Amino acid sequence: GENVEQHPSTLSVQEGDSAVIKCTYSDSASNYFPWYKQELGKRPQLIIDIRSNVGEKKDQRIAVTLNKTAKHFSLHITETQPEDSAVYFCAPNNQAGTALIFGKGTTLSVSS
């Protein structure tokens, strides 16, 4: 099965700084790479995703980059704000409709 690792496990930045979280996966057949944001006590929410035929995708302050050869993808958040503070999970997947296997999460803290 898929083995998913996230680094770092915790990340503290100052407001306005950039944050990068990396997700490494083991299944070379993975072709869908989402990032979920979970605020305390809330549901996971999809914030950005990328398919394997694309190397990078950007949506305002967040972006995801994919390196299929090295089997990792990263979440980039620029100009961080306190409301970006949350736990971020990656969940690479190889087939629509099947289970998402989540990483252990990265706790991002943005201080003002």
Partner 1 sequence: EPEVTQTPSHQVTQMGQEVILRCVPISNHLYFYWYRQILGQKVEFLVSFYNNEISEKSEIFDDQFSVERPDGSNFTLKIRSTKLEDSAMYFCASTADFFNYGYTFGSGTRLTVV
* Omega prior to 8 cis, within 30 of 0: yes
Least distance to partner 1, CB of residue 95, Å: 8
Closer CB to partner 1, 30 or 80, in the complex? 30
Name the residues that contact partner 1, by CB under 8 A: 32, 34, 36, 38, 42-46, 49, 89, 91, 93, 96-105
112 CB-contact burial (10 Å; exposed 0-12 / middle 13-18 / buried 19+): exposed
Least distance to partner 1, CB of residue 75, Å: 16
Closer CB to partner 1, 57 or 78, in the complex? 57
Distance CA 60, CA 43 (A): 22
Least distance to partner 1, CB of residue 110, Å: 20
Q: Which amino acid is at 75?
A: L
